Amino acid sequence: MPSSFSPEDNPSTFRRIAAAMWNRPSDPTIHGFVDIDVSHTLNFIDAFRRDTGLSLTVTHVVSRAVARAFARYPALNAKVRFSGRLENRSSVDLVVSVATEGGGDLSAARIERADELSLEDIVRATVRAVDDTRRGSDGDYERSRSLIRKLPWWLVRPALRLSDFVGNELQVHLPALGMPRDPFGTAVITNVGMFGIDTAFAPLVPLGRSPMLLLVTEIKRRPWAVEDRVESRPVLRLCASFDHRVIDGYQAGLLATEITDYVRTPEASGR
């Protein structure tokens, strides 16, 4: 017999938003990944922790690499408004996805003007934003989440469309009402490596209008060509989804090269 269906009693806030936000596949998304030998990077992270006492992670290194890449190619730090008009952002703002409620929900930590921050600043800003979110002391996030939880399922999509129109089309900043301007900024970065995932791609968030969504996967030992021999090296695979209206294959290659160079040698430009 065919399956029968019943509504989920208590979906997470993220699931309610996701179910209401996306239509059938029609977005101009392109995907790509790059493998990076992070042997030197891991040594750098260990030394950084000893020297500063800060809990630097690969995600922090990748976040700074992404910020620097978009700062170098500002034309790619754009969004599409009014169904076709490209506009450049004035700053490089990143959003790092954060698991909350023991992994049962998903939220975001926003790092503004990330390209102007040192690696130490990136670590401190991320830790502060993540702690605020997980403790429930981020007032704007709590108000938004509370509103979504209270709405019946059939009102979530209209509410998100209203938020999209106010925050992205009109560029009005109303975080207290759950309608911040440009809520996801330049790029969204999500670490899925903690779940044992070594290759994955995520869909672009329509409400976000970010040109790139990047997944940081699990570092795994892979065969790696070193001159004329093959060695086992720790390899980080970065998996990206791009908005093809903003970024094409050539431009994605420029970003990949810049990000790869920094992740390999994060000390090259100073801390």
Q: How far apart are CA 149 and CA 59, in angstroms?
A: 30
Given this model, what pLDDT does residue 151 score? 87
Residue that has been written with the tokens 């992070």 in this structure: 38
Q: What is the pLDDT of residues 7-57, one digit of tens each?
A: 667 877 877 777 777 666 677 789 999 999 999 999 999 999 999 999 999
Range with lowest mean pLDDT among 20-24, 60-64, 111-115, 182-186: 20-24
Q: Which two structure tokens, joined as six digits, stand for 201?
A: 């791609």
Beta-sheet strands, E only, within 112-228? 187-191, 212-216, 220-226
Q: How far apart are CA 134 and CA 130, in angstroms?
A: 6
pTM, 2 dp: 0.86
Sign (positive/negative) of CA torsion 3, 6, 7, 12?
Answer: negative
Q: What is the pLDDT of residues 166-207, one digit of tens each?
A: 888 888 887 776 677 888 899 999 999 989 999 999 988 888
Q: Which of 256, 266, 238 is nearest to 123 (CA)?
A: 266
Q: Which of 72, 49, 74 is nearest to 60 (CA)?
A: 49
The β-bridge partners of 223 are 232
- Report the topology of domain 30-137+182-264: Chloramphenicol Acetyltransferase (3.30.559)
The domain locations on the chain are 30-137+182-264
Residue type, 111: I
Q: What is the pLDDT of residues 117-132, one digit of tens each?
A: 999 999 999 888 877 7
Given this model, what pLDDT does residue 100 score? 61
